[in-house]
């Protein structure tokens, strides 16, 4: 009995109580429905990003960049220098046969400069903006907490020379030195990573092949590190499923005019090519780089289009994907973003917006231009460039009510703030009222029905009888009932 008790105690380590659910003072989004107990006449709607009107923002326009660019890296905002910084990939394989890392900067995140601060020596190009060679997928992090100035910048990526996932450090983001001695884990090429401030962990998603429904597929695993030195064993966390495979043909048809080979139904399937992340307050979003395979490519690998879809997790291990449609609209065949998609490793919060830099192409995954230069459209019909996708803060998914009205009731929650904020939008005729209940769904005296919330605001403060003070309920179990008409509710938070 003692042995069993120890097992149960061990399994419970790190598991906080789930009911009443601790929402604390963090914004709670509706991408998953963890907090939804009941929803009557409510629809949940995915809101794709809006593309920046000047897209694509960064193009291959320098001789040493080659014929295409991919983000295949990261963008950070350096608050000390008031500067956006970008590490990306070009393809000039005569001089850099194993690829290279390029560097750009911007004051506004839209108009980019490529300073000639390159640190890789080459006789072909005496001046350039290349800061590392034989590295791809550089997830760059600026770490002001490290006492060693030589490690101010940290990079997670794939080492083309050592053929493994490795890390590097730099004092300035321009001069990079190897840090890891051994590969972080097994696997091949694609990896993205970032620092998770809430968990105080470095997080990375490596690609490690795994058999799913009879096919060895590209899927993603999780590794973490508290110190950037020691990494956990990989855990399988994100895999495609039957629902993905069942919709493969629909995605293939969208790109039919630019596919290079006919379909093979026995090979048609969905895989994940990479993972971009955004740590929101109460959950982590993943932007999955979907690869829909229609056949083997003529020159190797697989053929098929790309797409970005949304996933969400509250622990980085268990992911939900309620929406299987694009979170960023694909362009039409022939347009700059009609083919394949990859993203930066971590999206940015810029004031009241979430910015996701991504690269898109005119070609698909197996197009001949990727495998040979002659007569394949390089520099002419085929290229890849970098653009920007934007969401208003936390407005990824909404709970919607029509003009007929609807109600959404949460599970019992416990909060630490003292006022309720709604991220919501109503039509001129619409409104939202809020009732606070006990765990048996009995109205709490004084909080039966709030004053109506109307209009469009990321931070509507909810009043009851002229007061917004909820201090008497802080730390107590409550349920929230939103009564809505012609309204969209994106998130709620009990703020201090």
Question: With 70 as the cut, is the pLDDT of residue 264 above it?
Answer: yes
Q: What is the DSSP letter of 1?
A: -
Q: Is a pLDDT exceeding 50 seen at residue 411?
A: yes
Strand partners, 307: 290
- Region(s) of the chain under CATH 2.60.120.260: 18-47+397-495
The rounded distance, in Å, linking the Cα atoms of 405 and 431 is 9
**3-state SS assignment for residue 151:** helix
Amino acid 208: pLDDT: 97
Distance CA 359, CA 88 (A): 10
Q: Structure pTM? A: 0.95
Cα–Cα distance between 235 and 223 in angstroms, integer?
A: 7
CA dihedral 405, 409, 414, 418 (to 10 degrees): 10
pLDDT in tens, 426-453: 999 999 999 999 999 999 999 999 999 9
- What pLDDT shows up at residue 379? 87
**Within a 10 A sphere around the Cβ of 6, how many other Cβ atoms?**
10
Question: Residue 423's CB: how many other CB atoms inside 10 A?
Answer: 24
CA nearest neighbour of 302 among 314, 287, 288, 291: 291
Q: In a 3-state reduction of DSSP, which class is residue 294? A: coil
What's the CATH class of domain 18-47+397-495?
mainly beta
Round the average pLDDT of the chain to a whole number and report it. 95
Reported for 218-227, long-range contacts at CB under 8 A and 24+ positions apart, including other chains, are 218/190, 218/271, 218/272, 218/273, 218/291, 219/271, 219/272, 220/272, 220/274, 220/275, 221/185, 221/187, 222/316, 222/317, 223/184, 223/185, 224/199, 224/316, 225/201, 226/200, 226/201, 226/202
Q: What is the pLDDT of residue 169?
A: 98
**Residues 6+ away with beta carbon under 8 Å from 151:** 143, 169, 170, 171, 179, 228
pLDDT score, position 483: 98
**Whole-number pLDDT of residue 1:** 39
Element (H, E) at 194: strand 191-196
319 pLDDT above the threshold of 70: yes
pLDDT for residue 247: 98
Residue 15 pLDDT > 90, yes or no? Answer: no
Nearest CA among 461, 432, 431, 467 for reference residue 447? 467
Give 351-393 pLDDT, tens digit per residue.
999 999 999 999 999 999 999 999 999 989 999 999 999 999 9
pLDDT reading at 6 higher than 60 = no
Mean pLDDT of 255-274: 97
Residue 57 has pLDDT above 50, yes or no: yes
The beta strands (E) that lie in 33-109 are given as 36-40, 43-46, 50-51, 69-78, 83-90, 100-106
Is 175's pLDDT higher than 90? yes
- pLDDT band for position 7 (cuts 50, 70, 90): very low
Q: What residues contact 446, with CB distance under 8 A and at least 6 apart?
A: 464, 465
pLDDT at residue 2 above 50?
no
CATH 2.115.10.20 domain span(s) along the chain: 50-392
Length of the chain: 496
Determine the average pLDDT of the residues in 191-219. 97
Q: Above 90 in pLDDT, residue 115?
A: yes
Topology annotation, domain 50-392: Tachylectin-2; Chain A (2.115.10)
Q: How many CA atoms lie within 13 A of 461 on its CB side?
A: 12
pLDDT at 160 over 70: yes
Residues of the chain above pLDDT 70, percent: 97
pLDDT at 225: 98
Q: Is the pLDDT of residue 13 over 90?
A: no
pLDDT band at 16 (very low <50, low <70, confident <90, very high): confident
Look at 16 and 116; give whichever has higher pLDDT: 116
- Nearest partner of 41 among 387, 483, 410, judged by Cα: 483
Kindly state the average pLDDT of the residues 143-155: 97
């Amino acid at each position: 009995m003692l042995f069993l008790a120890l097992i149960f105690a061990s399994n419970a380590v790190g598991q906080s109580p789930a009911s009443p659910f601790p929402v604390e003072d963090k914004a709670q989004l509706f991408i998953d429905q963890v907090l939804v107990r009941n929803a009557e006449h409510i629809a949940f709607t995915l809101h794709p990003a809006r593309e920046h009107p000047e897209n694509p923002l960064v193009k291959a326009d320098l001789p040493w960049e080659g014929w295409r660019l991919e983000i295949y890296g990261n963008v950070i905002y350096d608050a000390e220098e008031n500067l956006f910084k970008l590490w990306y990939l070009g393809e000039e394989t005569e001089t850099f046969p194993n690829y290279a890392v390029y560097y750009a900067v911007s004051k506004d995140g839209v108009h980019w400069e490529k300073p000639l601060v390159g640190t890789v020596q080459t006789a072909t190009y005496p001046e350039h903006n290349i800061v590392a060679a034989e590295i791809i997928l550089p997830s760059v992090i600026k770490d002001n907490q490290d006492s060693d100035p030589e490690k101010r910048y940290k990079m997670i990526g794939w080492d083309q020379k050592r053929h493994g996932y490795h890390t590097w450090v730099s004092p300035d983001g321009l001069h990079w030195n190897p840090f890891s001695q051994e590969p972080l884990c097994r696997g091949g090429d694609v990896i993205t990573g970032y620092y998770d401030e809430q968990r105080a962990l470095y997080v990375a998603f490596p690609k490690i092949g795994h058999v799913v429904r009879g096919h060895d597929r590209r899927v993603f695993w999780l590794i973490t590190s508290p110190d950037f030195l020691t990494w956990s064993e990989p855990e399988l966390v994100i895999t495609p499923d039957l629902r993905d495979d069942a919709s493969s043909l629909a995605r293939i048809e969208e790109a039919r005019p630019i596919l290079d080979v006919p379909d093979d139904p026995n090979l048609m399937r969905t895989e994940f090519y990479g993972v971009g992340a955004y740590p929101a307050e109460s959950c982590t979003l993943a932007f999955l780089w979907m690869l829909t395979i229609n056949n083997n490519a003529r020159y190797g690998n697989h053929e098929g289009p790309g797409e970005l879809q949304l996933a969400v997790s509250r622990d980085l291990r268990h992911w939900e994907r309620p929406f299987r449609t694009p979170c960023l609209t694909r362009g039409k065949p022939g347009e700059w973003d009609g083919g394949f998609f990859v993203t930066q490793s971590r999206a940015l919060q810029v004031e009241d917006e979430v910015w996701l830099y991504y690269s898109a192409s005119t070609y698909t995954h197996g197009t001949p231009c990727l495998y040979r230069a002659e007569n394949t459209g390089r520099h002419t019909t085929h290229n890849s460039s970098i653009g920007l996708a934007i969401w208003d803060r936390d407005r990824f998914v909404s709970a919607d009510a029509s003009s007929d009205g609807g109600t959404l009731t949460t599970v019992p929650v416990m909060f630490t703030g003292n006022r309720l904020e709604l991220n919501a939008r109503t039509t001129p005729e619409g409104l939202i009222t809020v009732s606070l209940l006990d765990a048996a769904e009995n109205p709490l005296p004084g909080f039966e029905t709030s004053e109506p919330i109307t209009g469009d605001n990321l931070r509507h403060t909810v009043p009851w009888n002229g007061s917004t003070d909820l201090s008497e309920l802080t730390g107590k179990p409550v349920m929230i009932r939103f009564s809505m008409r012609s309204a969209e509710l994106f998130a709620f938070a009990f703020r201090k």
